[in-house]
Structure formats: C-alpha cells, structure tokens
Structure 1
C-alpha cells in the first residue's frame, strides 16, 4: 500500500481507468440475463465470496502456499541458473560439455515435462517445486551467459593492465558489467516462476494454493471463487514484480550516475 501512495495521483488515476471500465462492463453483462448471467458472476457475489474465503482463513493459506512455492522455486532455479550461466561463460570446456544439453532441453515446454515428473515424484509439492525451479532456471542461465560473454574487451584489458587476479577480474569487472543482463534474467524468471506455480497447482490439483483453489472451484462451478483467486493472483504477481523492479533499480542505480 505504501508503494501505491508514493506514486503520483494522476498516474494512479490513469491506471485505474481501464480496470474500472471492465468492472462496469462485467456488471452489465451479469445483469443481461440468459447464458451471460451464468458466465458473468455479479460483482456483489464476488465480494461475498472474498469475504467468505478471507474470513475462514482459506484465502490467506492458499496465497501463502503459492507465494512460498513460487519464491522457493525462484531461489532454487535462479541460483542454479545464474551459477551455471556464469560457469559456462567463463569455462570453454563446461560450455562445450553442458551447452548443447541445456539448449536442447530448454526447447521442451514445461508442460511437456509433467508426465515424466509425475511418474518420478507424483503430484505433490516436490513435482510442483521442480517445475517452478525449471521455469526460473532457463532464463537465468541464458541471460547470465550472455551477460558475461558480452562484456566489452576494453574492460578486460584494463584488468590485465592492473594485474587483476581471476577472482578480482570476476568481482570487479565481469560481474558489474554483466549485472544488468543477469537481473533481466531474474526478472523473466520471476514471471515464469509465478505462471508455472499457478499452472502446476491447477494441473496437479493436490494440496493448497491459489491454483488448486481455482481447480476445485471449477469442479464445484463456483465462478465467484475462481474470480477471487484470479484477482488475488494478479495482485500478488503485480506486487512481486513491482518489488523486484524497485530492487533492480536500486542495484543498478550506478547506471544513471554514469550516463
């Protein structure tokens, strides 16, 4: 909430125009009668469902389960991805050994791994976490690799002139120069991990989470509950992206100073 208060009022008002128009349109469709009344639940029913789920604590439990799964998968996949990308970029041998395998398996859609992972790990948290980690792994490997390999040669020449060791060259030259692309990979990984979390919860079904709540609500034909879960998913995803965008801006604040 504090982040929203820091935004200019005009910017907030402009950003609310389209959502408000959609709400008016949705409410009009819900009152049109016939098949539309079944497809478009009145906003009052959605508000009632939200109050019901929030009051029982189920909504909070599902939201925390999804957040925990997404953040854990992002950390596991992101750390592994950045590490592998950096090692591939700095070691020609590792790049030749691992690079072809990485580029081959990343062509397989994440949903294509579900049958195999389901046989290995079932449909519990382990399978969901593996899919989310893979979603975060792919973009961080690629962007970390590109970031290191595209460091300008003149920067490396300066390191040689000053007699930097390999560790100093990495810490003082390669990492700062590659950081913008590495963080771009983490930004992509965050989005992919969030989508993968919701997707696996819907498809695998078991356990708690916003995706699992959507799947259960679909089986029960509770459109109001589905909409509540979708809205909470959107708000949480937006908040996560906004927080990371602010962190990225803080870490790269030197770019503005050097421009």
Structure 2
C-alpha cells in the first residue's frame, strides 16, 4: 500500500498541469486555440486510433529511432573500443571526432539535405550521428578502465583474445556502455522527432505534428507531444529494466 502511494505521487504534478491547462482553455476563444481543450484532444485521439494513423506514425518514428540507435551505436562502440585498445587509432581519429562532436546536429542538415535529399536515408543518417557520439565516448572510457593487473592475470592464464574480451574487458566496460546506450537512446529519439519535423516528409510523429501545425489542428499537435513524451518515457523505463538485469552480477554497497 505504501509503495502504491509513493508511485501515485508521480501523478500529482501531471494532474495539476492538466487542470491548469483545462482552466486556461476555458477563458476565451483565443486561449482555447493556444491551450486546446482536452476533450478536443481526446476526440482527435479516438479519430486517429480508429483510422490507424497514430499507430502508423508512432511505429515509423520508433523504428527510425531504433534503427539509427543500432547503426550509430554499434559504430560508436566499435570505434570506441579500438581507440581504447590501440593508441594509434585514438591519435588518428581523436582530434577529428572531437571537432565533429562540436557541430550541432542541425549544422549537418544543409549538407545531408544536399547529399541525400529529404528521404529516409537522410533521416537515418542524422539519427545515427546523434546516437554515435555518446556510445563512442562511453565505450572508450569503459574499455580504458580495464586495470592492468587484470589484463596481466589474463596473460598469465594464457587467455585467448576472445576470452580476454569476454571475461575481463566486457564486464569492465559494460556499465559505461549501458550508460552510453541510455544517452544515445534519448538523443536518437529526440533527433528522430526533430528531423521529421524539419523535413516534414514521410510517416512519423514529427511529420504528423508538422502537418497538423500547418493545418491549424492544435489538438493533433498536443496529442503528438503527449505521445512523444510517453513513448520516450517507456523506452527509458524498458532500458532501465534491461540495464538492471544485465548488471545484476555487480556488487553494490
């Protein structure tokens, strides 16, 4: 019962926000446009669910974000581990990657638009770039944390490179890598919605929001905002459960 009450506390602020929103929408017509009535949002939700439009666009955004996370994340883990294992790789790629890291994602839009247009390839590339840097940095730091004495023990035991990676390097780097996955997932999800909004083509919650904004349908705009927030929260919750399971072997306290 106590645990249920503690969990219910998290609903207090959203309910207060919904009440304040409802009050603002009832003041006059101009406020009702800026703060669209919640019953109108509910009607639009039922309409989009009945047509399947919300599910299609949400699925497209989710697939785009996860694909970019996998492509950019795996590239980041691979390069980060190589930079940690071979100083020459770090010296070769480090300065260039540090420079690229300072360029905001929006800074790549003109070039990517010129190279790939506004299609799916351009969106996937931008999302992958957003997911790349967090996992690159966290993978590099994770593998670099491997203590020399542990590596020496591996050499004494004549462990193969695969066994050294499996039993020494990966357990050391895994917490840092999973931290990077959490950051990369957030960046991938945010950038997915961003590029969909900016390009305004194809399916996706960002594209749906862009179309609704151009049509003045603020009910759909608010519905998209709520959907984006809820999906992002669920993704983070799932990742937290996976992280706890993968790191259950760690001794804490």
**Is this a same-fold pair by TM over 0.5?**
yes
**Separation (CA, whole Å) in 2 of partners of 1:38 and 1:68:** 32
1:134 partnered with 2:129 = yes
- The match for 1:4 is none
- Number of residue pairs aligned between Structure 1 and Structure 2: 252
**Deviation of residue 104 (structure 1)?**
1.2
SS in 1 for 2:103: coil
Q: d(CA) in 2 for partners of 1:34 and 1:217?
A: 19
What CA distance in whole angstroms lies between the structure 1 residues aligned with 2:3 and 2:148? 42
Tell me the equivalent position of 2:59. 64
CA RMSD in angstroms comes to 1.4
Give the TM-score normalised by structure 1: 0.94
Q: Find the aligned partners of 1:52 and 1:138 in 2 and give their Cα distance.
A: 39
User: Counterpart in 1 of 2:213?
Assistant: 218
Deviation for aligned residue 1:184: 0.4
CA deviations on 1:47-100 (whole Å, 9 max, x unpaired) are 001111111111011001001101111111111111110011101121111121
TM-score (norm 2): 0.96
- Please give the per-residue CA displacement for 1:185-218, whole angstroms capped at 9, x wherever unaligned: 1110000000000000000110010000111111
Where structure 2 has 5 or more consecutive residues not aligned to the other structure, the ranges are none
Structure-2 separation of matches of 1:116 and 1:66: 23
Structure 1 residues 45 and 34: CA distance shift in structure 2, 3 A: closer
Alignment deviations for residues 5-24 of structure 1 (CA, whole Å, 9 cap, x no partner): xx942233101000000000
Match of 1:146 among 141, 149, 163: 141
- The equivalent position to 2:243 in structure 1, one of 245, 248, 256, is 248
Match of 1:204 among 192, 199, 205: 199
Q: What are the ranges of 5 or more consecutive residues in structure 1 without an aligned counterpart?
A: 1-6
The partner residue of 2:46 within 47, 51, 67 is 51
Which residue in the other structure is 2:18 paired with?
Answer: 23
